[in-house]
Structure 1
Amino acid sequence: MKNEVKTHEDIKAIRKLMEESTRFLSLSGLSGVIAGVAALAGALLAWLFIDAPWSLAGVAALVLVVSVSFAYFLSLKKARRDKRDFWTAVSRKMLLNLSIPLATGGVLAIIFLIKGNLELVVPVFLIFYGLALINASKFTLGEIFYLGLLEIVTGLLVAVFPGLWLAGWTLGFGVLHIVYGLVMYGKYGK
Structure 2
Amino acid sequence: MESKNYQDELAHIRQMMERSSRFISLSGLSGVVAGIVALLGSIYVYFIFQREGVDYFDGERNIYTPALAQELFFVALVILVLAISSGYIFTARKGKKKNLKVWDSITKRLLANFAIPLVTGGFFCIALWYHHYFPLIAPSMLIFYGLGLINAERYTLSDVKYLGICEVILGIVALFWLGWGLIFWAVGFGFLHIFYGILMYRKYD
Fold equivalence (TM over 0.5): yes
Inter-partner Cα distance in structure 2 for 1:86 and 1:5: 32
Instruction: Provide the residue aligned with 2:29 in structure 1.
Output: 30
Instruction: Provide the residue aligned with 2:175 in structure 1.
Output: 159
Instruction: Provide the residue aligned with 2:55 in structure 1.
Output: none
Give runs of aligned pairs for residues 64-143 of structure 1, distance below 5 A. 64-143=80-159
Instruction: Provide the residue aligned with 1:178 in structure 2.
Output: 194
Inter-partner Cα distance in structure 2 for 1:114 and 1:163: 17
Instruction: Provide the residue aligned with 1:17 in structure 2.
Output: 16
- After the TM superposition, which parts of structure 1 deviate over 4 Å for at least 4 consecutive aligned residues? none
Inter-partner Cα distance in structure 2 for 1:76 and 1:33: 15
CA deviation vs aligned residue, 1:81-131 (integer Å, no higher than 9, x gap): 000111111111111111111111011001100100011100110000000
Q: Which runs of 5+ in 1 are unaligned?
A: none
Tell me how many residue pairs correspond in the alignment.
188
Percentage of identical aligned residues: 38
Kindly provide the amino acid, as one letter, of the partner of residue 143 in structure 1. D
Inter-partner Cα distance in structure 2 for 1:38 and 1:77: 19
After superposition, the CA RMSD in angstroms is 1.0
Inter-partner Cα distance in structure 2 for 1:131 and 1:105: 9
Inter-partner Cα distance in structure 1 for 2:154 and 2:196: 17
Give the drift of 1:48: 2.4
Q: Secondary structure at the match of 1:126?
A: helix
Give the drift of 1:8: 1.4
User: Normalising by the residue count of structure 1, what TM-score does the alignment of the two structures yield?
Assistant: 0.96
Inter-partner Cα distance in structure 1 for 2:7 and 2:30: 35
The alignment status of 1:168 with 2:184, answered yes or no, reads yes
